């Protein structure tokens, strides 16, 4: 079906080698692109009008008619199954990829920020990040800020785990101390998460339109300096014998409880 396109069949092709390098952060920064793997992500990017430079697709791609309906004007390249397997980090590639331009970091007017926001304080596990971003999307949050020490926003596992929700929210990489200060300057509550004597049961703080929720590192929790900045620190009472909740599970409970 893809007759007029350039065809790449060899995994030794120079362009294929360059695309494979996008798994590394320094190469993503150098090339200014990242790779989407799979039809769901590519479709979500097309629907969200992301800046897609190139779409790579196998000859017998089963959603070809749906892809054609988008009338994509960028570069389209047909690849072999072997190339698809070389590019994918999944055991059964779907046969479609997109090379998306990494957006230039937008200047954010922190004084004008509003809505519900999730701050990631050194969260490193891609699965946890993806679950939290998808939950923030589902709960009606405005955006997510990747703070210091958090996994790279465009890391392949993070991209795949977010499942397209990254195109429905504002995502920023930023200094959490500055973001916390900006929320507090507008009298918006900033909720931390730590179990201590001063912490409040999450059910006792009501619901809010404008606020920030900070979730800390999987092993070490929030940074002490960020804890010291918060309006209030919350905890989730555990009725059973489990020692703690997974950070993404806890974030989901809190996001739906806090968001008005």
| Residue pLDDT tens, the chain, 260 long | 555 589 999 999 999 999 999 999 999 999 999 999 999 999 999 999 999 999 999 999 999 999 999 989 999 999 999 999 999 999 999 999 999 999 887 778 998 999 999 999 999 999 999 999 999 999 999 999 999 999 999 999 999 999 999 999 999 999 999 999 999 999 999 999 987 888 999 999 999 999 999 999 999 999 999 999 999 999 999 999 998 899 999 999 999 999 99
Domain membership flag for residue 215: yes
Res 14: pLDDT: 98
3-state DSSP assignment of residue 77: strand
Instruction: Using the structure block, give the residue that is written with the tokens 């590192």.
Output: 217
Residues 61 and 173 occupy one common structural domain = no
Residues 121 and 215 occupy one common structural domain = yes
Domain membership flag for residue 249: yes
Residues 128 and 214 occupy one common structural domain = yes
Residues 160 and 58 occupy one common structural domain = no
Residues 86 and 210 occupy one common structural domain = no
Q: Classify residue 163 as left (phi > 0), alpha (psi -120 to 50) or beta.
A: left
Report residue 98 as tokens.
């997109």
Res 197: pLDDT: 80
Residues 21 and 90 occupy one common structural domain = yes
Res 198: pLDDT: 82
Res 69: pLDDT: 95
Res 108: pLDDT: 86
Last residue of a domain, one of 101, 119, 147: 101
Contact yes or no for 117/144 (Cβ under 8 A): yes
Contact yes or no for 198/230 (Cβ under 8 A): no
3-state DSSP assignment of residue 137: helix
Q: Classify residue 88 as left (phi > 0), alpha (psi -120 to 50) or beta.
A: beta
Residues 172 and 254 occupy one common structural domain = yes
Last residue of a domain, one of 101, 129, 162: 101
Measure Cα distances from 7 to 42, 57, 75, 211 in Å. 20, 10, 12, 50
Residues 51 and 168 occupy one common structural domain = no
Measure Cα distances from 210 to 2, 60, 117, 213, 260 in Å. 49, 48, 8, 10, 9
Residues 73 and 128 occupy one common structural domain = no
Residues 135 and 175 occupy one common structural domain = yes
Residues 90 and 116 occupy one common structural domain = no
Structural domain containing residue 31: 6-101
- What total of structural domains would you count in the chain? 2
Res 4: pLDDT: 58
Residues 27 and 97 occupy one common structural domain = yes
| Helix intervals (H) in 196-243 | 224-229
CATH number of the domain residue 169 falls in: 3.40.1280.10
Domain membership flag for residue 1: no
Measure Cα distances from 158 to 123, 192, 214 in Å. 11, 23, 19
Residues in contact with 181: Cβ distance below 8 Å, sequence separation at least 6, in sequence order: 229
Res 23: pLDDT: 97
Contact yes or no for 78/7 (Cβ under 8 A): yes
pLDDT, tens digit, for every residue of 65-117?
999 999 899 999 999 999 999 999 999 999 999 999 998 877 789 989 999 99
Last residue of a domain, one of 101, 121, 143: 101
């Amino acid at each position: 079906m893809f007759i007029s396109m350039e065809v790449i069949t060899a995994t030794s092709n120079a362009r294929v080698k360059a695309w494979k390098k996008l798994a590394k952060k320094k190469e993503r920064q150098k090339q200014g692109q990242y790779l989407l793997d799979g039809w769901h992500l590519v479709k979500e990017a097309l629907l969200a009008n992301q800046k897609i430079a190139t779409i790579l697709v196998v000859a017998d791609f089963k959603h070809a008619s749906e892809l054609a309906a988008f009338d994509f004007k960028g570069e389209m390249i047909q690849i072999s199954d072997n190339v698809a397997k070389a590019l994918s980090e999944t055991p059964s590639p779907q046969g479609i990829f997109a090379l998306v331009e990494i957006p230039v970091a937008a200047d954010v007017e922190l004084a004008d920020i509003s809505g519900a926001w999730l701050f990631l304080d050194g969260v490193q596990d891609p699965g946890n990040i993806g679950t939290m971003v998808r939950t923030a999307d589902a709960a009606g949050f405005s955006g997510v800020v990747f703070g210091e020490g958090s996994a790279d926003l465009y890391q392949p596992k993070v991209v795949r785990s977010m499942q397209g929700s990254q195109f429905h929210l504002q995502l920023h990489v930023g200094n959490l101390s500055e973001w916390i200060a900006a929320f507090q300057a507008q009298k918006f509550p900033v909720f931390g998460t730590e179990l201590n004597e001063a912490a409040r049961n999450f059910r006792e703080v009501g619901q809010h339109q404008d606020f920030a929720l900070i979730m800390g590192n999987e092993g070490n929790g929030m940074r002490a300096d960020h804890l010291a900045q918060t309006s209030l620190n919350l905890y989730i009472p555990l009725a059973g014998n489990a020692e703690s909740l997974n950070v993404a599970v806890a974030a989901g409970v809190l996001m739906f409880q806090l968001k008005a």
